[in-house]
Amino acid sequence: MNWTKQQLRTHIQVIQGEKPPTIVLQNASYLNHVLRKWMNANIWIYKDRIVYVGSKMPQNDEGCEIVDCEGKSIVPGYIEPHVHPFQLYNPQTFASYAAKRGTTTFVSDNLMLLPLPNEKALTFMKEINELPFSFYWWCRYDSQTKLQNEDEVFSDKMFNQFLDHPYVLQGGELTNWPQVLKGDDKTLHWMQETKRRGKKVEGHLPGASERTLTKMAVLGVDCDHEAMTGEEAVMRMSLGYTTSLRYSSIRPDLPKILEEMLALGVTNFDRVMMTTDGSTPTFYEDGVTDEVIRIALEKGVPTEDAYAMVSYNIARHYGFDHLYGMVAPGRIANLNILDNPMTPTPTAVLSKGLWVNDELEANVDWDRYDIKPYQFDWSITEEDLSQTARAGIDMVNSVITKPYRSEVDFGVPELSTEHDECFFSLIDHKGNWRISTMLKGFANNVSGFVSSYSNSGDLILIGKSKKDMVAAFNRMKELGGGIVLVEDGEVVCEIPLTLNGGCSTQPMEVVMEQQASLVKALKERGYPFVDPIYSLLFFSSTHLPYIRITPTGIVDVLKNEVLFPVVMR
């Protein structure tokens, strides 16, 4: 956020009484993070900026909206430090939903922007900040899968352009850290370049030992969000990491982590943050950042720390505390008005000095950035689902898979529902290649299921009936992308995803209902795990063990080698 010299002079005129503020929050009890205490003041706002916090009222209040905040508590707008804003929802719909609950600033993954031309992606990352919310971004070091054109996507030009972008705050998340430790100097070089530009490196270090964490800190990792216990969190803190505590649909560990941290005697939370880690839509029914604050308060974290972990601490970590994370002069007017400090869901929210409500306009012209419905000028037949790989994939849980050898006859058009093996294909969304094998553990009664939502943006097909799998593809093709479940030739449920096959344009509340219907239908048909949406996302993700289906073929993750390559159609 850069104000012009004229705008800065105008802010001074407001303080001097020559111009009126646009809003004054009178008799406010606000949280001063620097002094770590609640204070009383009048807060003057001019357009998108806090210009004064103190005892005085403006001399000139002509046209000024004065809000009596007697009995209310005011805190800085919440910051979500680790967002994957393409989890069926899109950045705009997620922000619109989260802002009503007080989260108005987002540090976001750029992974799903990488298929775009660089110029389009970079323009989007800047222009989305014309919405009444604040978006900052990561720069990924790898695709989290095996792309056929990996070197082309992750070129020196891409890294330089993204890391130099004013809204990019960090590199990462570093999912390919094992390769870095084994000698991947290209990634290490770009980690160094990230640090040279004064930006952070975000880790992704689940289950890492003290020695591994030490090595990654020496190589430049600043923060990690993968602690799953209080002991793991404290170990990261003791090694100098900023430690982000996660509460997500796949890892709802926060309550346990906080209990254990407090039991271990942690009293200083200055280098601790909290995140929901880009959860799937229905997880947010109870709240976004306001929910993690509620959990922290319930577990006995001091009020000042609970709010600092979602505002001030994050702003300090990323070096933008001159703009965010404080109720103080010069900061962007992102403020949450609470009934009391123990109730973190706000009754009113200001974002960039605007009241967040249903009338607040927040629209994106997606076509401008080449983010549009998939156009399929090709079709599939049952022959496209015939076996190309002998190694089957066995689901251990929602996201972990291991290899197995199937004894089922792949040549039949339909499989028995007496077992949990399904036909399983990944097909290029442009129709150029495919790979097909067996999937064990997904369900025993899913007939035809297709998803254009995946880590690589390619098409996942699962089912017992090749005929219904083709029918599901045809319906997804009509939608221009989406997730479709078909049974006996009829659509059971669907989620249209018309933004490059991965995101909906519908409001969060609509997508929540659609996801809930889909999950219910899949579980009725035998899906046994927590979250099928994450399963779809991670089937191709090579940062998880042990075997993955990717655009290059079926990959042994630990050996980092392709076992069975894709075949051309």
pLDDT digit string, tens, across residues 217-255: 999 999 999 999 999 999 999 999 999 999 999 999 999
CA 362 to chain centre: 19
pLDDT range class, residue 41, cuts 50, 70, 90: very high
Q: Per-residue pLDDT tens for 373-412? A: 999 999 999 999 999 999 999 999 999 999 999 999 999 9
Say what the pLDDT of residue 515 is: 98
552: pLDDT confidence band, cut at 50, 70 and 90? Answer: very high
Residue-level pLDDT at 75:
98
Task: Give 177-228 pLDDT, tens digit per residue.
Answer: 999 999 999 999 999 999 999 999 999 999 999 999 999 999 999 999 999 9
Portion of the chain with pLDDT greater than 90, in percent: 99
Q: How far apart are the first and last CA of the chain?
A: 49
Nearest alpha-carbon partner for 187 in 222, 132, 143, 235: 143
Indicate if the alpha-carbon torsion angle 298, 302, 307, 313 is positive or negative: negative
Q: Which of 448, 476, 477 is nearest to 462 (CA)?
A: 448
- The pLDDT score that the predictor gives to residue 2 is 84
* Cβ atoms within 10 Å of 463's Cβ, excluding its own: 30
Helix (H, G, I), strand (E, B) or coil at 283: helix
Handedness of CA 329, 330, 335, 341 (dihedral sign): negative
Distance CA 40, CA 30 (A): 6
pLDDT value at 566 more than 90: yes
Output the pLDDT for position 513. Answer: 98
C-alpha count within 13 angstroms, C-beta hemisphere, residue 135: 27
In angstroms, rounded to a whole number, what is the distance separating the alpha carbons of residues 557 and 563? 10
Residue 473 clears pLDDT 90, i.e. is over it: yes
In whole angstroms, what is the distance from residue 120 CA to residue 568 CA? 30
CB 73 within 8 A of CB 29: yes
Question: Cβ of 227: how many Cβ atoms within 10 Å?
Answer: 27
Rounded to the nearest integer, the mean pLDDT of the chain is 97
- The separation between CA 112 and the C-alpha centre of its own chain, rounded to angstroms, equals 10
**Residues, the chain, total?**
569
Q: Three-state secondary structure along 56-107? A: CCCCCCCCCEEEECCCCEEEECEEEEEECCCCECCHHHHHHHHHCCCEEEEE
Q: What is the separation of C-alpha 199 from the centre of its chain, rounded to a whole number of angstroms?
A: 19
The pair of three-digit structure tokens given for residue 153, joined into one six-digit string: 């996507």
- Does 1 have pLDDT greater than 80? no
Average pLDDT over residues 285-305: 98
Q: Which of 419, 418, 390 is nearest to 404 (CA)?
A: 390
Those residues whose C-beta lies under 8 Å from the C-beta of residue 192, and which sit 6 or more positions away, are 220
C-alpha dist (Å) from residue 13 to 24, 53, 75: 15, 15, 26
Helix (H), strand (E), coil (C) string for 349-370: EEECCEECCCCCCCCCCHHHHC
For residue 53, the surrounding DSSP H or E stretch is strand 49-54
Query: In this predicted structure, what is the pLDDT of residue 258?
Result: 98
- Taking alpha carbons only, the member of 536, 558, 520, 552 closest to residue 439 is 536
